[in-house]
């Protein structure tokens, strides 16, 4: 399940785990192979640059390309990942930590709402459908406002993109991302 539409609550949860496994992981591995750095640690600076590039791009594009008109929230299960190419070369714990780090950075630098959970999106859906109190508590936690995006500037994002050579993360891309969030209330 790549996304969960909760139209009644005006929310669309985008499953970061599935997007990473289906789209992002292969791109990271291909680039690491192309630059002959596949044998390096996940903590290596060059590996991080490539991973940051594809993770931020992949999750941002998932939001931008979504046709759903509800508020988009990235939902990440930080306990497990679906089988993907990156797990053939790196430990699952290290990959989850990498994604977690990138998502926490994204929270601070981009106007994107991100929810990190110990539950999978399909389990969360099950809790909601079964009218379980735990599901309602999670939904309330997801819905609570984290920060005000009205006065958001991209100065932190620009500094971050410069530090990690994320040249695609430019003013045009920021404008597209901002427009998407301004149109959906």
Tokens standing for 76? 């990440």
| Confidence band, pLDDT 50/70/90 cuts, at residue 77 | very high
> So what's the pLDDT on residue 2?
85
Assess whether pLDDT exceeds 50 at residue 185: no
Taking only the tens place, the pLDDT of each residue in 104-160 is: 988 888 878 899 999 999 999 999 999 888 888 999 998 887 666 555 666 777 777
For 76, other C-beta atoms within 10 Å of its C-beta total 24
| 71-77 β-sheet, strand order | 3-6, 11-15, 71-77, 113-117
> Nearest Cα to 25, choosing from 109, 97, 81, 76?
81
> So what's the pLDDT on residue 78?
95
Average pLDDT for the chain = 86
> Nearest Cα to 79, choosing from 124, 47, 110?
124
> So what's the pLDDT on residue 181?
59
């Amino acid at each position: 399940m790549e996304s969960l539409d909760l139209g009644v609550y005006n929310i669309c949860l985008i499953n970061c785990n599935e997007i990473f496994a289906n789209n992002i992981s292969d791109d990271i591995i291909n680039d690491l192979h192309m630059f002959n750095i596949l044998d390096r640690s996940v903590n290596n600076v060059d590996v991080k640059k490539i991973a940051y590039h594809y993770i931020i791009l992949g999750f941002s594009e998932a939001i931008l390309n979504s046709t759903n008109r509800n508020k988009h929230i990235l939902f990440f299960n930080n306990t497990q990942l679906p089988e993907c190419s990156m797990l053939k070369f790196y430990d699952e714990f290290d990959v989850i930590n990498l994604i977690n780090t990138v998502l926490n950075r994204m929270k601070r630098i981009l106007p994107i709402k991100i929810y990190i959970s110990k539950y999978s999106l399909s389990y969360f859906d099950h809790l909601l459908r079964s009218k379980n109190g735990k599901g309602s508590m999670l939904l309330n936690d997801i819905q609570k406002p984290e920060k005000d995006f009205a006065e958001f500037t991209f100065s932190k994002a620009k500094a971050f993109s410069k530090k990690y050579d994320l040249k695609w993360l430019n003013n045009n891309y920021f404008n597209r991302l901002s427009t998407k969030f301004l149109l959906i209330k």
